[in-house]
């Protein structure tokens, strides 16, 4: 109760500050976009920051976009972890709720890595990160970086609405699917009602069955032959781009969920 009150009051206070403080001061206090590879125009950066603020207020999580031309020889995962430790991102506290999107434009290997910390780790777990990357990677491959980042922000926000552990792309949660099921159920039940309105056949195979004179005189179940087919066990890492999956722990000791692709 008190915790909820606390988070609510934090939320309201931050809203209050957001509305009444001078935007320039608020904007300068936090940096969300570190565009070292210079993939975005100034205008695009402003628009992305607006989306990120909206996302942050809704999910109480900071969304950080980091682009680079050089990971300094480190794997993108380690590079991302060091960057997080160095800046200590977080919506609520240093090293707090964060989603960190890292894009490496290293000429030898262009990669993307998406990681979630704290609430981000819980609500954007490895499976959901893979789903986000499914939507984002095609835009990156087409060099539509602005679109890719907007997509990453909005999709992450959508997914974080769902309770942890639930697949947000599950068919069962789709409204159109639920509508189809509802119409089918209605149709089948009413169909049965119409069909049965004229009376049902209530006799079964047992009604006129005379068990005294019914018997199996002889039966034979003879093994003839057998066939055996084998197929390879489906492996979990589908070969779609290079994947550095799974999340882990940064050098500074923060655990995270994560997933990466090359594009």
Binding site for other proteins (CB under 8 A): 161-163, 166, 168, 170, 172-173, 175, 178-179, 181-183, 185-187, 189-190, 193-194, 197-203, 205, 207-210, 212-233
Closest CB to other proteins among residues 108, 236: 236
Closest CB to other proteins among residues 24, 203: 203
> For 231-250, b where at least 16 C-beta lie within 10 A, e where not — what string?
eeeeeeeeeeeeebbebeeb
Maximum distance among all Cα pairs of the chain, rounded to whole angstroms: 96
Closest CB to other proteins among residues 46, 182: 182
> For 151-185, b where at least 16 C-beta lie within 10 A, e where not — what string?
bbbebbbebbeeeeeeebbeeeeeeeeeeeeeeee
Residue 100's beta-bridge partner residues?
Answer: 64, 115
Helix (H, G, I), strand (E, B) or coil at 105: coil
Residue 64 CB, nearest approach to other proteins (Å): 25
Residue 44 CB, nearest approach to other proteins (Å): 29
Closest CB to other proteins among residues 46, 171: 171
Residue 153 CB, nearest approach to other proteins (Å): 18
Residue 235 CB, nearest approach to other proteins (Å): 9
CA distance 132 to 111: 15
Closest CB to other proteins among residues 4, 230: 230
Closest CB to other proteins among residues 17, 173: 173
Does residue 105 contact residue 69 with C-beta atoms inside 8 Å? yes
What's the gap between Cα 83 and its chain centre?
23
Provide the token pair at 4.
Answer: 């909820």
CA distance 102 to 85: 14
Residue 169 CB, nearest approach to other proteins (Å): 11
Residue 139 CB, nearest approach to other proteins (Å): 25
């Amino acid at each position: 109760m008190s915790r909820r009150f606390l988070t609510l009051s934090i939320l309201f206070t931050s809203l209050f500050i957001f509305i009444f403080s001078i935007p320039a001061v608020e904007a300068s206090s936090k940096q969300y976009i570190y565009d070292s590879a210079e993939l975005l125009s100034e205008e695009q950066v402003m628009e992305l920051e607006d989306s990120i603020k909206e996302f942050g207020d809704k999910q109480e999580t900071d969304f950080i976009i980091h682009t680079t031309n050089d990971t300094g020889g480190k794997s993108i995962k380690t590079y991302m972890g060091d960057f997080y430790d160095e800046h200590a991102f977080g919506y609520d506290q240093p090293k707090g709720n964060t989603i960190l999107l890292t894009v490496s434009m290293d000429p030898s290997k262009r990669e993307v890595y998406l990681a979630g910390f704290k609430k981000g780790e819980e609500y954007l777990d490895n499976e959901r990160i893979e789903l986000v990357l499914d939507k984002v990677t095609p835009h990156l491959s087409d060099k539509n970086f602005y679109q890719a980042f907007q997509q990453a922000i909005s999709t992450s926000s959508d997914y974080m609405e769902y309770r942890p552990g639930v697949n947000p792309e599950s068919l069962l949660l789709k409204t159109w699917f639920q509508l189809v099921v509802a119409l089918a159920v209605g149709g089948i039940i009413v169909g049965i009602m119409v069909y049965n309105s004229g009376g049902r056949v209530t006799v079964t195979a047992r009604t006129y069955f005379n068990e005294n004179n019914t018997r199996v005189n002889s039966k034979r179940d003879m093994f003839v032959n057998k066939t055996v087919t084998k197929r390879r066990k489906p492996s979990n890492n589908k070969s779609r781009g290079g994947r550095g999956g799974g999340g882990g722990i940064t050098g500074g000791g923060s655990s995270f969920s994560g997933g990466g692709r090359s594009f």
